Structure 1
Amino acid sequence: MKKAILLLALGIVCSTMPGRLRAQATVAGTPAPVLPLYSGAIPDSKPSQLKEATTGQGANTSVADVVQPTLTVFMPAREKANGTAVIICPGGGYSRLAIDKEGYAVAQRLNELGVAAFVLKYRLPNDQSQPDKSIAPLLDAQQALRMVRQLAPKYNLNPERIGMMGFSAGGHLAATAGTHFAQPAGPNPGPASVRPAFLVLLYPVISFADSIMHKGSRDNLLGMNPSPEQQRLYSNELQVTSQTPPTFLVQAEDDNVVPVQNSLVFYQALHHHQVPAELHIFPKGGHGFGLTNPTTPTQWVDLLKNWMAANGWLSK
């Protein structure tokens, strides 16, 4: 009876949500709460006619023109929970978010490992709604880290075990969060740490150097004619220090969207600064494989599990 009531309630939530975005469920079977990222005014925003748009369905669901950033909370079953959390940044070239394939589906797999997952619906760079579009995604990523740390007691999380995962351009955002935390974006950022405990980067955009960049991501974030200083600032392989978090990297060698050199140069920078890192290059798989591409070995999840366990992030 209780299960039937829960399913009925979930159906009501689904039917009233706008567009094609429907309520998500955690591995434990409960609806996933959606939390606003900011309780007051959203920084680096200005009035506009921009309205969020959702296209596709299922694994192909994507979101564009995000105005109100949110975190969707996926909690593991209580008996599995180990206190580690991951904030997930879906990709989409800084023009949209592959919110299901590189967000909700991955969050549910992390729950199976006992890891709490927070899918970040971050603002995409937009001159209409942001005075400085280059910092809006990073502001949201850093706010997500603050917020999850604040929520740690509520969700029984270890505030020192909050990592960040990103796919494609979401990988660029996660890598930016992992290399720009010493000087947080925006005015009056506050004392709370915005350093992720670790990074998990899947086919990530890393560099904005002309030779290996993903042009769409760079153009969307920095504009068509970025200055050399901007290109260098957001080429994250150039921003690695000894304080950059331990990193797990996965990419396919035949990626024809984001050159595999992006993962290679980031790994080399991490190695140079003696930051623990693990890199896996699959010979085939293309770009954007997530968990759904049948031609790509999905054992990267098992490899990630082993890496997290070896570092103590899966222990209770």
Structure 2
Amino acid sequence: MNQLSRSRRQFLKGAIVLLLLSGINVKIHAQNSSKPLVIYLSRTHNNKVLAKFIAQTVGGDLVEIKTRQPYPKDYQLMRSQVSNELNNEVLPPLDHSLNLDPYQQIFIVFPTWAMRLPPPIKTFLSTHNLNGKIIMPLNTNAGYGVGSGFDEIEKLASGAMVYQGLSIKGGNEREGNLFVMQGKTLQQAKLNIQTWLQAMPSKSNSSTANKVVHLTAQSTLGDLLEHPKLRLFADKILPWDGMKYDRTLPLSRISELMPYHHYFNIDDILKPLNTMILSNEPVFYDYYGGDVPYTGLFLLRGQPNMPTAVIVAGGGFQYVGSLHEAFPLAQKIVEKGYNAVVVKYRGGVSSQRATEDLAHAIGYLFNHQQKLKIDMNHYSVWGASASARMAAYIGSYGVQRFGVYDSNIPKPQAVIMLYTGHSDISNNETPTFAAIGESDNIASPNVMASRIQRLLQQNVKTEFHRYPKVEHGFGLGTGTAAEGWIDNAVDFWQKTME
């Protein structure tokens, strides 16, 4: 709760709230301006707990949605009534109406009923003017998913901007498993909500824009970890899972955390971090839905619906050096108009497990590409050192070999791999760009060259570069003979799409 306290003061600029309760004739005024509205529908009290947590976190007004005629307490009778309402498009009257004029942002916390949006929420959306509002939907369900709930909200609130929703497993009334939002279940739900909230849109104005804090070479790890725009996922930006970092360490000494990497350039590292800080859109997504710690992906946006580069950093499967080997690459790629995704996989696991994380991230991106406004039909996969093995495995065998059993997800358009000893190939390889330094004492240039030759024998499109006097882990290679390799790699990817 304390970690979001500063965000409360900056979350919205609004007016005094007037809540009109029909039939009761009582006026309720907000205690403070600058508030969003949190409405909720809760039959078994799970959504009430989550809605209250959101309202406390963002400093919002909390309102329960109730029908004028309460639903039967008996589950079967209630189920029959809901089925009739859904099948006949009945909108049950609510016991109150709301004045939404003071609110720009509205959270809607709702359950899944019969895999649909509950009729009371449909009534609310259909009887209130939502034009120009920003809507953030949060769903709980019995484990079967949100159903059509999010899609129905977008349809009914066509004049509003509907933010990407969050779905959380709640109780199961049919099985008698009613109130579950307590203990570890509630703790995990709160963590998921906090991750979701970190990228909430806010009103932009000159007074708040001038308060954005950029990171500099003199900024510390503590500054990064506690930055209001980064703090809910900043641990996944840094290389080591679960490490208690020295928060006084300046970012200019970040190289001390990545022993397998060389040629650090602080400007290359800071630019993508500040790009994320300045973004008015979400940058972090949890592709496992909170089930697997130390994982997630970062989306740096280029032009809408342009092809996407999926980037994983190396670190010997011990740490994940995204600050040097992924974010700087992503920044260069988005500057060329493409979208770029940095995938955080688990450190300290086998190459199989790490590649499964990558495969699940690709599956998430493919299934959400329309909402994310990216193209995953021509995606490329980028890796270096240990992560080059992961990228190559996806190029050789697709995500289906690594636990994502969706036959609609294609293999990548191209694989971009740097300084690796990976030698495995399949019978149906992907176009491959490869580069390595001649002075690499971890990965052999000759091994990379040999694999490229074997790909050529399959008539696979390839490009291979060897850079003199360059060691392992060069990242962008700024200031070395490898500098500019990324331009060649993007050109190679482009040619595979022609």
Return the TM-score normalized by structure 1.
Answer: 0.69
Question: Are 2:205 and 1:2 equivalent residues in the alignment?
Answer: yes
Aligned residue for 1:185?
Answer: 402
Distance 1:14 1:306, change over 3 A: closer
Q: Distance in 2 between matches of 1:182 and 1:107?
A: 22
Q: Structure 2, unaligned stretches of length 5 or more?
A: 1-203, 214-226, 239-271
2:472 alignment partner, SS class: coil
| Corresponding residue number in structure 1 for 2:288 | 38
The within-5 A match list for 1:270-285 is 270-285=455-470
Preserved CA contact (<8 Å) 1:199 1:248: yes
Q: How much does 1:88 deviate?
A: 0.5
Q: Cα RMSD (Å) of the superposition?
A: 2.8
- The aligned residue for residue 204 of structure 1 is 420
Does the C-alpha gap of structure 1 residues 280 and 134 become closer, same or farther in structure 2, counting only changes over 3 Å? Answer: closer
**Percent identity of paired positions between Structure 1 and Structure 2:** 23
The corresponding residue for 2:386 is: 169
Residues 82 and 303 of structure 1: CA distance in aligned 2, closer, same or farther (over 3 Å)? farther
Cα distance in structure 2, aligned partners of 1:17 and 1:183: 28
Q: Distance in 1 between matches of 2:297 and 2:233?
A: 16
| 2:298 aligned partner | 72
- 1:37 positional shift: 1.7
Q: Contact 1:27–1:75 (CA<8 Å) still a contact in 2?
A: no
Asked if 2 retains the 8 angstrom alpha-carbon contact of 1:87 and 1:163, the reply is yes
> Which of the residues 300, 305, 315 maps onto 1:92?
315
**Distance in 1 between residues matched to 2:434 and 2:229, nearest whole Å:** 37
Count of aligned pairs between the two proteins = 248
Question: 1:148 and 1:85 mapped to 2: Cα distance?
Answer: 9
> Looking at both structures, which has the greater relative contact order when contacts are Cα pairs under 8 Å and sequence separation is at least 6?
1
The structure whose Rg is larger is: 2
Q: Distance in 2 between matches of 1:245 and 1:91?
A: 21
Q: Secondary structure at the match of 1:13?
A: coil
5 Å-filtered alignment, 1:1-316, equals 2=205, 5-6=208-209, 8=211, 11-14=227-230, 21=237, 24-26=273-275, 29-30=278-279, 33-39=283-289, 41-42=291-292, 67-76=293-302, 78=303, 83-126=306-349, 133-181=350-398, 183-186=400-403, 189-193=405-409, 195-207=411-423, 236=424, 239-241=425-427, 243-312=428-497
Q: CA deviation at 1:285?
A: 1.1
For residues 20 and 83 of structure 1, do their structure 2 counterparts lie closer, same or farther at Cα, with a shift above 3 Å needed? Answer: closer
Aligned in 2, Cα 1:68/1:305: closer, same or farther, shift over 3 Å?
closer
Q: Secondary structure in 1 aligned to 2:330?
A: helix
In structure 2, relative to structure 1, the CA distance for the partners of 1:281 and 1:21 (3 Å cut) is closer
Deviation at 1:201, TM superposition (A): 0.7
Deviations 1:115-169 (A, max 9, x none): 111101111343xxxxxx4521111111121111112212332332111000111
Cα distance in 2 between the residues matched to 1:194 and 1:8 = 43
Write the distance in 1 (CA, Å) between the matches of 2:399 and 2:300.
28
Matching residue's letter, 2:441: N
Q: Which amino acid aligns with 2:273?
A: Q
CA contact (8 A) 2:308 2:339 kept: yes
**Counterpart secondary structure, 2:377:** coil
Aligned CA distance change for structure 1 residues 4 and 251 (closer, same or farther; 3 Å):
farther
Aligned to 1:227: none
Unpaired stretches in structure 1, ≥5 consecutive residues: 43-66, 127-132, 208-235
Q: Which amino acid aligns with 2:391?
A: A
CA–CA separation in structure 2 for the residues paired with 1:273 and 1:158: 28
Q: CA deviation at 1:39?
A: 2.1
Q: TM-score, normalised by structure 2?
A: 0.45
C-alpha distance in 2 between matches for 1:200 and 1:151: 23
1:264 CA displacement: 0.9
Query: 1:18/1:154 Cα in 2 relative to 1: closer, same or farther (>3 Å)?
Result: closer
Quote the offset at 1:13 in angstroms.
Answer: 2.5
Instruction: Say if 2:299 and 2:340, in contact at 8 Å, map to a contact too.
Output: yes
- Partner SS, residue 240 of structure 1: coil
